Each structure stands twice: as C-alpha cells, then as structure tokens.
Amino acid sequence: MAVLCEPVTEVPEYVVTMEETLALAADLYRDHAELRLVQRLITNTGVRKRHLIQPLRQVLRHPGFEERNALFVREAQSRLPGVVRRALAHAELDPDQVDLLIFVSCTGFGMPSLTAWMINALRMRPDTRQLPIAQLGCAGGGAAVNRAHDFCTAYPQANALVVSCEFCSLCYQPTDVGVGSLLSNGLFGDALAAVVVRGEGGRGMRLERNGSYVIPHTEDWISYAVRSTGFHFQLDRRVPGTMEPLAPVLRALTDRHGWTASDLDFYIVHAGGPRILDDLSRFLGVPSEAFRHSRATLTEYGNIASAVVLDALGRLFEEGSAAHTDKGLLAGFGPGITAEMSLGTWTEAA
C-alpha cells in the first residue's frame, strides 16, 4: 500500500517580517480608506515572517509578466534539484526509480512543464510519466498526494514524486488595492517542497483513502484575473467561513472509512489563515493543538500555497510524535472552493 514518505521543504534566503510588512503598507497605502483594517487583518494572520526569492525592493518592482515568469523558471531550475534529491534520499530511492513526476505550482507557467526539464536534469527515466498541476492553488499539494496515491494503487510497485514550487511574491501587483489583495501581500510567502509516495516499503503515512469536494457555486471566491501584467489574486471575504460546510465533508470521509474525524492521532491541513484552523478545530471537535504543525508553517513561512501541507507533514516527522498505526488526516483547500483529503495510518515499516 502507498506510503507518503518524509518531505523536504526549502525556503529562499530573503526574509520579510510582519513589522516590515505593516510599515510598508503604511508607507505605500497611507491614503487608503481601509488601511487600519488591512493592518489589523495582516496582524491577525500571525505570520511572523516570510521568505522571498529576491530582496523586497525588487519584489515591489513590476518589470512585466514576461520577466517575472522568466525569473520563476530560472529560480525553480536553480533551487529544485537539491530539494528533489533530498526527498528521494528520505525515501531511499534514486531518480531512475521514479515512475510518476507530479509538479505543482500556481505562481509560474511554462510549456513544456518543468517536469520535462527535471526528468532530463535529474536523470530520471525517459518513460517517467508527467502530471503538471497548475490551477488548484493551495489545494494543489493535497491533490498531488491524492493523484500519487491513485497511481500507486493502480501500479502497486511504482513510485511517485511530488514537487511543489510556489513563488507567491511574483504575483504581487502594486495597482491592486482591494482589502483582499492587500491582505494577501502580508500573508503569502515563497517555498519549494518535494515528497515521495512509495508503492512498496517506506516510512510515513500509509495512504488508505482519498476524496475531493467542491463547494457548489464558489468558483469565483478564490481566483486569478489573468491580465497583461500577470496573475492578479482575487479573494472573496466569504472564504474564511468555508470550514463550516467543509467540516461535514471531512467527517463523512472518515465515517466511510470507519474512523471518527474528531478522534484521530494527527492532522495535517492547509493553513490558509488562523480562522481556517480555528473553525476547523471547532467544527471537528478537536483541540487547537491538533493543528500545531500547520500553525507553525503559517507563523514561520506564511501561506506557501500548495507547499503548506508538505511542510506541515515534515514538521510531524521532525517532532517524532507519530507512532506505528496512528491514524491521520491530510487536507488541502483552495480555489473552487476545493477540498483534497487523504486518510492514512502511520507506518514505521522499512
């Protein structure tokens, strides 16, 4: 049965703190009618710092979509190989043992996908299957794990590699001054992550069931407006309340598996913001501490989109608290409004 192994997350070297973010908002938008509301919302995120692929003064420039996308490709190609090699080492695999390569990103675009480049650069087999995921946003990490699970279920001896590359700072748009856009300027960070799903062997979360769900008629709540200047992030004020309709979906998935959603041993969920975690804690009836790994990701890195669930899972590995046969949930939430959910049992088997 497919095992989700220990992931690797890497954040770039340039750091911006919450204090710097608040000061910048006060400087750039001093005449904004809702500046105090924006500053309060940014403060309430609890994001102490975020990491960027370039210095803040360069992030604030907008050289055009073409140059930004070229920067995405250059930085991805520079940073991804080391992350991927470490994730493969955690799973005790070599590049030529990867049968499916899934690449997830909602912050840059290219054709062919960077999957083709990685197959060549990392010397994977030419017959490695490719699956780029570009439009699921923050739900992309959970979706990638689920598609890897599906693949390894169909091909029980196969291995899948999931790679996430999110440079959210490249989506900064200086002309977007809506409250949702300004909030996102203080919430999102840059990161890369990778993880292996082994069809046989491995230590980690043995995947047993997955599911997807779209809240009807919410497709415009989280979206990009694609313009000549690139991706313009759009966030509806109703998004923070989405855990109320999604919590029953999580409960139904665990019920079908013979488990109880409020009585699991570990929870790895997407940290879109503190209210998401607070509401999920309340609606599922689990203590706030259950989401400590997701909160730590949010606090230290901000919202790193599809990489959040992989980083939070890595923190569970580092903590060492999961014991053999512990039951757990992994879930990512994103545009659609989409939920991608996985259930699994921890295994220490080599």
Q: Would you name the residues annotated as active-site residues? A: 138
CA 131 to chain centroid, in Å, comes to 17
Closest CA to 49 of 166, 189, 233: 189
Helices (H) and strands (E) in the chain, counts: 11, 14
Continuous segment of H or E residues that includes residue 248 = helix 243-256
Reported in sequence order, the residue ranges of 96-182 that DSSP labels E, i.e. its strands, are: 100-104, 129-133, 159-167
| Angle at 165 (CA atoms; ends 163, 168), nearest 5 degrees | 155
Handedness of CA 119, 122, 126, 129 (dihedral sign): negative
Helices (H), 258-323: 274-284, 292-301, 308-319
Burial of 97 (0-12, 13-18, 19+ CB in 10 A): middle
